[in-house]
Chains A and B, each alone.
Chain A
Amino acid sequence: MSGASLILYPEDREKITRALGQFLREAEVKCVLLVGRDGLEIAKQGFTQSLDTTSLAALAAGAYASTKELARLVGEPEFSVMFHQGKRDHIHVSTVTDRAILVALFDDRTAVGLVRLCAEEAAHKVAEVFAESHQRAAAEGAGLEFLREQTGDVFEEKQE
């Protein structure tokens, strides 16, 4: 992943959870997961007790990444939405930023269009939080960069 790693503070997590909670209520989905592109779960809301969210997160990220080549073949950088329509349950996977994807699980009690709309809104909110975090990291970045250089030297010396 390009750029510095994402650092989320408790207040960031709070904002994310709130955004997901709003999505959950407004779109009336069963559950929603915010997943890093690396397949790690960042946050979740809704009925997730009976669900292996760790595996679902990893699979969703994998499925999303693996369609990149398909997207390239039809002339798209990537697909922003992947939607599995099942007989009973449906899975909606959408891009948040280049760092994360949003996975929503729902059934016929709600409409796909509504889920899509609310997912966009939630993605927008989460992206804002990420952007803030990024800016903060950039502001604090000078110090961190210095530290990284220092430790890097130490390791290099040790290696030789």
Chain B
Amino acid sequence: MRGTLSEFSLAEILELINLSRRSGVVRVEREGRQACISFRAGKVIAANDGSPTEPIGAVLVREGIITPKQLQEALDLQNQMRHKLLCEVLLEIGLVSREEMARRLQQRTEEAVYRLFEWSQGDFLIETYEGQDQSEDPFVSLSPTHLIMEGARRIDEWRRIREKLPSGDIVLQFAPSYALRGDEITLTSPEWEVLALVNGERDVDAIVAKSGLSPFETQRILYGLLSAGLLIYRSQLALSSARVEAMRSSLARLVEESGVRCAVLADSRGQIILTEGSPAGFDIATIAILSVASLATAMEMVNLVGEQGFEILLHQGSQQRVIVAGLSSLGVLVVLFDASAQLGVVQICVRDFVAEVGKIFEHEQAAAAG
């Protein structure tokens, strides 16, 4: 039986498998990616969504169940005994218990099916085998009804999680203010495990890999901890390194072209993201925070006169000048210079920079919004 996912959804296919109590395989293809779900007597026994997943052997080594040496031995053994799966070999030589193996395989199968639920397009082909399958009991046997219900729930939840964790390279850290609040927190043990992995350096992907939980479960916990305010983004901005480099070069160009003493890019709380030029002799950390504050006051004034947008705030002293510019409400640019730099030139350079980096920020914002 053939069709496309747009006319016949995966949930309906699973429903059909459930009702027919048949054995077989569903193959789905989308943009060159192939996925398959195997089923036996109406139960899902294996699934693969075609995304790169860690081999089961590597997972067991990472989790410390077996040593790399043991894995190599098992792989050698598998080569000798043809038509055997690695998990069967591992089970046979008694390195892993059946329960442990089944738990991991079940998790992988479930994750693959849930990821497949996100496919809205693609061609599918259902092949069924006639007669009773006599081979031994499968490791995994999942009820399609359960998968459908859980899948639908997860799609909703994924959508929410994606809003906060749009990509795997986001780095989280503890909220420094949380300890001060003295709120009592009650966490479950998986939550503690995930929390313990957050160190301000690991990104979401690394935490997922280390946690031993499913990606969904780990990200759901991170989402919860973020929502509770226990965790924050390392920089309030979820910036990827390529974009940071792009901003750094824009900032360096601003300093070079305008001849200003130094330029600082800070996030909306005044925490410094990048500095270019020579800030020696200036307490730029405080200057950045005060600049954000002055911008906030200025915004009030601007709102009062009915102006919507706001571009540049200039503070001019007898020698020193400070320009503060808002960047799509996500960050600020602070430029320090003296009378040796031409004000007009600086303003033009600042405007160019704002336009350039504003785009980067907007992109981040759009990405964060999913």
Q: A70–B316 Cα gap in the complex (Å)?
A: 11
In the complex, chain A residues 116-150 whose Cβ is within 8 Å of any chain B Cβ: none
Query: Measured between alpha carbons, how far is A82 from B282 in the docked complex, in Å?
Result: 20
In the complex, are the beta carbons of A67 and B294 less than 8 A apart?
yes
Q: A69 interface residue, CB < 8 Å from B?
A: yes
Nearest B residue (CB) for A89 = B307
Is residue B55 contacting chain A, with contact meaning CB distance below 8 A? no
Which of B287, B294, B316 has a CB less than 8 Å from the CB of A81? B316
14 A-B interface contacts by CB (under 8 A): A55-B304, A56-B301, A56-B304, A59-B301, A66-B297, A71-B315, A74-B317, A75-B319, A77-B317, A83-B314, A87-B308, A89-B307, A91-B302, A91-B305
Q: Mark B292-316, 1 if CB is under 8 A from A, else 0.
A: 0110011011101111111111111
Q: Let me know if A151 is at the binding interface, CB within 8 A.
A: no
Known: A80-B316, A82-B316, A86-B307. A70 touches B290 (CB 8 A): yes
**Interface: B6 (CB within 8 A):** no
Most chain B CB neighbours (cut-off 10 Å) among A51, A67, A73, A84: A84
B20 interface residue (CB < 8 Å to A): no
| Chain B residue at smallest Cβ distance from A50 | B306
Q: Determine whether B320 belongs to the interface, using a CB cutoff of 8 Å to chain A.
A: yes
A residues with CB within 8 A of B: 51-52, 55-56, 59-60, 62-63, 66-67, 69-71, 73-89, 91, 105
Are A66 and B301 in touch, CB under 8 angstroms?
no
**Cβ B314 vs Cβ A85 within 8 A:** yes
**Residue of A52, A59, A63 with most chain B CB atoms under a 10 A cut-off:** A63
B287 close to A70 (CB less than 8 A): yes
Counting CB contacts under 8 A, is B31 at the interface?
no
Instruction: Name the one of A52, A74, A91 contacting B336, with C-beta atoms under 8 angstroms.
Output: A74
Most chain B CB neighbours (cut-off 10 Å) among A62, A71, A78:
A71
Q: Please give the residue numbers on chain B whose beta carbons come within 8 Å of chain A beta carbons, in ascending order.
A: 282-283, 286-287, 290-291, 293-294, 297-298, 300-302, 304-320, 322, 336, 347
- The reply to whether A73 and B310 contact each other, CB–CB distance below 8 Å, is no
Residue of A nearest to B303 (CB): A59
Residues of A within 8 A of B283 (CB): 73
Q: Is B317 in contact with A86, judged by CB distance below 8 angstroms?
A: no
Smallest Cβ distance from A29 to chain B, in angstroms? 12
Q: What residues on A are CB-neighbors of B347 within 8 Å?
A: 85
Residue of B nearest to A105 (CB): B305
Check B297 against A59 for contact (C-beta < 8 Å). Answer: yes
| Minimum C-beta distance from B302 to chain A (A) | 6
Are A74 and B301 in contact, CB atoms less than 8 angstroms apart?
no
Q: 6 new A-B pairs (CB below 8 Å) besides A80-B317, A82-B316, A88-B309?
A: A69-B290, A78-B317, A79-B322, A83-B313, A83-B316, A87-B311
Partner of A84 from B290, B293, B298, B308 at Cβ < 8 Å: B298
Contacts of B300 in A (CB 8 A): 59, 63
Chain B residues within 8 Å of A79, by CB: 315-317, 322
Q: Are A73 and B318 in contact (CB under 8 A)?
A: no
The reply to whether A84 and B313 contact each other, CB–CB distance below 8 Å, is yes
Given A70-B291, A73-B286, A86 and B297 touching (CB < 8 A)?
A: no
A88 and B290 contact, Cβ closer than 8 Å, known pairs A62-B297, A79-B316, A82-B315 = no
Are B294 and A89 in contact (CB-based, < 8 A)?
no
**CB contact between B313 and one of A73, A75, A78, A85 (< 8 Å): that residue:** A85
B320 touches A76 (CB 8 A): yes
Q: How far is the CB of A138 from chain B (nearest CB, A)?
A: 28
Given contacts A56-B301, A59-B297, A66-B293, contact A86 B309 (CB under 8 A): yes
Chain B residues closer than 8 Å to A62, beta-carbon distance: 297
Report chain A residues within 8 Å CB of B316: 79-83
Specify which of B297, B307, B311, B336 is in contact with A63 (CB 8 Å cutoff).
B297
Q: Quick one: closest A residue to B347, CB to CB?
A: A85
Q: How far is the CA of A75 from the CA of B298 in the complex (A)?
A: 22
In the bound complex, what is the Cα–Cα distance between A143 and B15 (angstroms)? 100
Q: Is B314 a contact partner of A81 (Cβ separation < 8 A)? A: yes
With known contacts A87-B307, A87-B310, A74–B322 Cβ distance under 8 A: yes
Complex contacts, A56 vs chain B, CB 8 Å: 301, 304-305
- Cβ-defined contact, A84 with B282, below 8 A: no
Tell me whether A84 and B312 are in contact (CB under 8 A): yes
Q: Is the pair B304, A59 in contact by a Cβ cutoff of 8 Å?
A: yes
B317 contact from A76, A83, A87, A88, Cβ within 8 A:
A76
A48 to chain B, nearest CB (A): 11
What are the 5 tightest A-B residue pairs by CB atom distance, in nearest-first order?
A: A76-B317, A87-B309, A81-B316, A79-B315, A85-B312
Nearest opposing residue in chain A for B289, CB measure? A70
- Give the residues in chain B near A81, CB-CB below 8 Å: 314-316
State whether A71 and B317 are in contact (beta carbons under 8 Å apart), knowing that A60-B301, A62-B297 are contacts in the complex: yes
Contact, CB under 8 Å: B290 / A73: yes
Contact pick for B311, options A60, A69, A71, A85, CB 8 Å: A85
Residues in B with CB closer than 8 Å to A66 are 293-294, 297
